[in-house]
Chain A
Amino acid sequence: MPIELEVNGKRYPVHYDPDTPLLFVLRDELGLTGSKYGCGEGQCGACTVLIGGAPRRSCQIPVSAAAAKPITTIEGLEKDGRLHPVQQAFLDAGAFQCAYCTPGMIMSGVGLLQSNPNPSSAEIVQFLQGNVCRCGTHPRIIDAIHQAAKAMQEHGR
């Protein structure tokens, strides 16, 4: 019996070895390439996904350990053509340059706002310390998360 994953509300059988990191299954087997490889060592955050609602580094989790809970990737945030407020806020703030870190930043931001709907700048910095942006877009990313927090509170999401 292959392992089954629930990703973005859909179930997928997985044929890769059970100890393969989730990231490689998502990208190479399931074709969900929005989650990025940046280091494979849990040091850059580009591969961040939500597992059971909590932000996790998918390069550090064997696929067998991810099978029990629903997984959300960047591809699963948009609903009926409407962007998630964190995606919309990144767009509005122009919070990217090369944007390779952006999916991981957005997933971390979504995870943060789930546990802390109105974070201070210091709390955002603390939470995103493990996410690397090499282009130096950090101030706009912080702004985007503040904007998203505001939008989510106003719209009760």
Chain B
Amino acid sequence: MSGSREKIVVEPERYEFSAGPMHHFELLRRDFFKLLGAGIAVFTMAKESGAMQETAPARGFHAEELPKEINAWLHIGEDGSVTAFTGKVEIGQNIRTSLAQTVADELRVPFESVRMVTADTALTPFDFGTVGSRSTPTMTPQLRRVAAAARDLLVEVAAKEWNVPAEGLKAADAKVTDPVSGRSLRYAELALGKTLAQNLPAEDPVTPATEWTVAGKSIPKADARSFVTGKHHYTPDLRPAGLLYGKVLRPPSFDATITSYDEAAAKAMAGVVVVRDGDFVGAAAPSEREAQKALDAIQVKWKETPQISNREIFSYLKKNAAATSEDRFRKQNGSMEGGLAQAAHRLDTTHTISFIAHAPLEPRAAVAQWAGGKLMVWTGTQRPFAVRDELAMVFHVPESNVRVIVPDTGSAYGGKHTSDAALEAARLARAAGRPVRVFWTREEEFSWAYFRPAGVIEIKSGIASDGKLTAWEFHNYNSGMSAIETPYVVANRRIEFHPVPFNMRQGSYRGLAATANVFARETHMDTVARAAQIDPLEFRLKNISDPRLRAVFEAGAKTFGWPRKKTQEGQGFGVGGGTEKGGFVATFAEIAVDRASRAVRVVRVVNAYECGAIVNPDGLLNQVVGAIIQGMGGALFEAIEFENGRITNPHFAQYRVPRFRDVPEIEAVLLDRKDIASAGAGETPMLGIAPAIGNAIFDATGVRLNGLPLAPNGVKT
């Protein structure tokens, strides 16, 4: 454990799990070539200045061969194939494709010749996790640098073969060419018969976005055919020889403990392995049904504790806010009193945010296998290295004895940062002496995963008669700090986050607390604008200084046709937007409220988004449209209900998610800023939809809805 490195702070968000200890990998140079065949391997070192680099000292590597702080590597085979390695995971965000594009672009090879090896703790560089929209801004430059270093090396190898200076040689189309003589050597020819490994410093600059040839293009999802044929193996599809199916006995409520236990009947069943370890009880059997039957046969009594329900959660959060906590966040500029004194209009609002579930369609799953004290786990997680460390810690084995592999996963949305299923499968596999799969049911996924935190947000503001903000006070109780600071210009402001100790598992969610904070802020802004009789868009533009935020509001307004005149009863138009994680979003919505049922139908959405230079326009479009559809659920109807430590709506029949009939006409407006480094797009495009819908409901009905979800049962007057 190196104490010299700074803790990696991915973002100011307490629910984004903080970085674990330092790591290493065990891949030896000879293993590297054994695994990939002869050829040329290039390793690059992190630049010391990078505060955000996701690296690890290479302790396991031969020290003389590989310096510390290796952060990326790739291999060029004798057939010219390129294999690049990343600790990132593919969870539907299309990172496998966009990173391969980046490598192909910088190495000057066709996209098809690049294969990405992802998220295997034995093969890929340490990675903090696929979280916080970090993959594009951190991994893209790392892979560009290693590809650029490899390209330079290929040029040097060619120069040596020809006995000419490397300067003047050109790398393009997977070959090195000497423009003087006209001769050329393909990368495959340069790699032939070599086992050349080079450690190179990561050099800037790399190819600017204006000169990209493979990146910046709409290249289809890598391996797409294996997904439409059902051949791709997600974690629960893996069936190693001798596989047993594991089930875990869930307590009747959160924090319940065992008071009496009798497993005799279960143990008597043929082929069944039963494990009790503290309050963990599980069984493994040749089929899932047999494992379930074994659990059903266990006589167990639990001690339960009374707990609050979703009906009391908001008053609980207000009453129980921690007075002191290291997670508490406070920021003050100017004087609220002075700012309010200058105001022509003042407004106080309170907003509530319900717990919601990620509900990835692939529930948590893991397959674990022990052999000779070594543990191998396949699992759908966003943090393979953290899962490896937790497994090592829990089972008291060295990290080097644990290998975690993440098959491309059936989505996560911030919900798969933990190692739950991996720990359960590994515990059962150790007892069984055979590989065990644990695959949570939908009910388990809804009940025992973690939730997007509930919260209460209080806002106080003042505006002058010219429509400029003079004062802004913002308090968030429990839901988190992401995007807590206002992007609008206001001299007098006070912003606080109040953590609340609470026993329900809460954690990251796509967009984190930004979905809550932007909803509250943009709802409040709309309310102020209406009270002051200023057009809501005009009011925002008056108070924006950031040209990138202005640009998305203006671009979205143009496509949407803002302002629009209502042409029928129940129709309404709304806008909301903001910025987080280097992305800028403005969302415009048209809704219709049914006269009889008061149900809200979203008719049309325009989502304008800018995240620097676009790596894959079609992939980005998929994310930006998908964020709107998924965001509509949290905006309109999703909410976890609970009572006495039980989730009371743990099924799709009770917990409504967006379906085909809910989907409006959606137009994405993508602003491509080739002059700005690419930022992520998995989260921020989601931020504007909830306030845009809420503000449109007000426009349609005059009813101001300040809580999420807005209208699970229609708009009540």
Q: How far is the CA of A46 from the CA of B361 in the complex (A)?
A: 8
**Within residues 1 to 48 of chain A, which ones have a CB less than 8 A from any CB in chain B?**
16-17, 20, 24, 27-29, 31-41, 43-44, 46
- CB neighbours (8 Å) of A142 from chain B are 660
Would A136 and B658 be within 8 Å (CB), given that A28-B245, A103-B230 are in contact?
yes
- Whether the Cβ atoms of B661 and A129 lie closer than 8 Å is yes
Q: How far is the CB of B633 from chain A (nearest CB, A)?
A: 9
Instruction: List residues of chain A with CB within 8 A of the CB of B237.
Output: 27, 33
Q: Is A149 an interface residue (CB 8 A)?
A: no
Whether A28 lies near B287 (C-beta < 8 A) is: yes
Stretch in B123-131, B397-405, B576-584, B621-629 with 4+ CB within 8 Å of A? B621-629
A147 on interface, CB distance cutoff 8 Å:
no
Whole-angstrom distance between the Cβ of A72 and the nearest chain B Cβ: 12
- Provide the A83-112 mask, 1 if CB < 8 A to any CB of B, else 0: 100011011001011111111001000000
The reply on A53 being an interface residue by CB < 8 A is no
B228 touches A102 (CB 8 A): yes
For residue A138, CB closer than 8 A to chain B, the reply is: yes
A132 adjacent to B220 (CB under 8 Å)? no
B498 to A: closest C-beta gap in Å: 31
Q: How far is the CB of A151 from chain B (nearest CB, A)?
A: 14
Check A33/B627 contact, CB under 8 A, given A87-B228, A134-B657, A138-B660. Answer: no
Residues A94 and B221 in contact, CB atoms below 8 Å apart: yes
Residue on B nearest A102 in the bound complex, by CB:
B227
Quick one: closest A residue to B626, CB to CB?
A136
Known: A125-B660, A132-B361, A134-B413. A96 touches B652 (CB 8 A): no
Q: Are B288 and A135 in contact (CB-based, < 8 A)?
A: no
CB-CB contacts below 8 Å: B262-294 with A = 287-289
- Is B409 located at the chain interface by the 8 A CB criterion? yes
How many whole Å from B575's CB to the nearest CB in chain A? 20
Interface presence of B630 (CB below 8 A): yes
Contact A36 B93, beta carbon cutoff 8 Å = no
Residue contact A44 to B630, C-beta cutoff 8 Å = no
A131 CB within 8 Å of chain B: yes
**Which residues of chain B are within 8 angstroms of A58 by Cβ–Cβ distance?**
none
- Residues of B with C-beta under 8 A to A131: 659-660
C-alpha gap A32/B411 in the complex (Å): 21
User: DSSP majority for the A interface?
Assistant: loop
Query: With A125-B661, A129-B661, A136-B626 known to touch, is A41 a contact of B288 (CB < 8 Å)?
Result: no
Question: Please, how many residues of chain A have a CB less than 8 angstroms from a CB on the other chain?
Answer: 59
Nearest chain A residue, comparing its CB with the CB of B232: A99
Q: Name which residue of chain A comes closest to B227, CB basis.
A: A99
Q: Give the shortest distance, in Å, between A79 (CB) and chain B (any CB).
A: 12
A94 adjacent to B228 (CB under 8 Å) = no
Cβ of B442 within 8 Å of any chain A Cβ, yes or no, is yes
How far, in Å, is A86 (CB) from chain B's closest CB? 9
Complex Cα spacing A31 to B413, Å: 28
**Complex: how many Å from CA A8 to CA B456?**
54
Judged by a CB distance under 8 angstroms, whether B362 is at the interface is yes
Is B651 on the interface with A (CB-CB < 8 A)? yes
A74 to B627, CA, bound (A): 28
Q: In the complex the two chains form, is B442's CB within 8 Å of A139's CB? A: no
Tell me the minimal C-beta distance from B706 to chain A in angstroms: 25
Contact B411 A132 (CB under 8 A): no
Are A34 and B630 interface neighbours, CB within 8 A? no
Give the distance in Å from the alpha carbon of A87 to the alpha carbon of B221 in the complex: 14
Residues of B within 8 A of A75 (CB): 229-231
Given A28-B288, A40-B442, A91-B220, residue A33 in contact with residue B230 (CB < 8 A): yes
Say which residue of B220, B234, B363, B651 sits within 8 Å of A43 (CB atoms).
Answer: B651
Let me know if A137 is at the binding interface, CB within 8 A: yes
10 shortest interchain CB distances as A-B pairs: A34-B230, A98-B92, A100-B410, A136-B629, A136-B626, A74-B230, A33-B237, A43-B652, A99-B227, A97-B92
B-to-A contact residues, CB < 8 Å: 91-94, 220-221, 224-225, 227-234, 236-237, 239, 245, 287-289, 359-363, 408-411, 413, 439, 441-442, 618, 622-623, 625-630, 651-653, 657-661, 663, 666
Q: A33-B237, A130-B659 are in contact. List 13 more A-B contacts (CB 8 A).
A: A16-B289, A24-B289, A33-B239, A43-B652, A43-B653, A83-B229, A94-B220, A96-B224, A98-B360, A98-B362, A98-B410, A103-B228, A125-B660
